[in-house]
Amino acid sequence: MVDLLATGAEVFGRGTGVAWLAFDLSAVGAVVAFACVRHAKYSVRFRIVWLTMAAVSLGGVGLWLANSVALLGIHVEGSAVRYNLALGTASAAIAVIAVFAGFLIGGRRLDLPRLVIGGLTMGLGVGLSTYLTLDALAVQGTVKESLGLIGLVLLMSMALCTGVLWAGQTVRLIALRVVLSLLFAVGVAALYYTAVGALEFDVNSGARMPDGLQLFDLVFPMFVLGSLGLTVPITAILVAPDRREAIEAAEKAETVGAR
């Protein structure tokens, strides 16, 4: 097993399968989110609806749920691990709201100032969400944090989210979106494991049992709900032929106009 940066915790305490599952969630959430963003770009009446579905897919599933699933792999020797439900709920809400705000600020067309502001806004929210997700962990003892690594997580998060906004506005080919979704999943994993490296668990086996839920009791129902929740935007994408036609027509008009 891996003891990451001497944090005192094994991050693959249940094997690497949990990490791969988290990676898959990030990639699938990103694929669905990019599709929703493409529809939102050319929609007037339902733009907010498409952006909301994109935010839930990317922020709720691709980020928060993926990080929460990855937490299942953490094993702290000599201590039970519990999860603070209030902090976990706050981190999920912040992730979704930050992604929605970033997409909204980014606008329909590529505009550098809006791209930067949207990326910074989304990145700060995603970084905060990642921090709160890990801060929700409680053990028999104390958990110390490295402010330097937390600052690095915020910088990485802002860079990742700026890239997400750029990709959502410029990439049209489905194959490229899939590749970028895989890269996004790599970025989310990098954020998560860097954030875990910022923690140091000081275990006191004689301390009282920490308050909160067992991780599996929270993550499993959220995994089921998140997986089912993705069926809503996926169904919307599949049953919106008028939107696909509008996208194709608008893209042809852009091409003709460019000539």
| Residues 169-216 pLDDT 10s | 888 888 999 999 999 999 999 999 998 888 888 887 777 777 878 888
Give percent of the chain with pLDDT exceeding 90. 44
Residue 94 covered by a domain = yes
pLDDT digits (tens, 9 = 90+) for 77-109: 877 888 888 998 999 999 999 999 999 999 888
Only one residue has tokens 């036609």, namely 245
Q: Is residue 38 pLDDT above 80, yes or no? A: yes
Distance CA 206, CA 78 (A): 10
Give percent of the chain with pLDDT exceeding 70. 89
Give the chain's domain count: 1
Residue 9 covered by a domain = no
Residue 3 covered by a domain = no
Residue 29 covered by a domain = yes
pLDDT digits (tens, 9 = 90+) for 204-224: 777 777 787 888 888 888 888
Residue 97 covered by a domain = yes
At 224 the three-state DSSP class reads: helix
Q: Do the Cβ atoms of 102 and 116 come closer than 8 Å?
A: no
Considering the chain, what is the average pLDDT of its residues? 85
How many residues in total does the chain contain?
A: 259
Q: Which residues span the domain enclosing 56?
A: 15-250
Structure tokens at 47: 């733009």
What is the Cα Rg of the chain in Å?
19
Distance CA 250, CA 221 (A): 41
Kindly give, in sequence order, each residue whose CB lies less than 8 Å from that of residue 75, ignoring residues fewer than 6 positions away.
1, 9, 10, 13, 14, 81
Using DSSP bridges, classify how beta strands 213-214 and 81-83 pair: parallel, antiparallel or unpaired.
antiparallel
Residue 258 covered by a domain = no
Q: Is residue 20 pLDDT above 90, yes or no? A: yes
Residue 135 covered by a domain = yes
Residue 257 covered by a domain = no
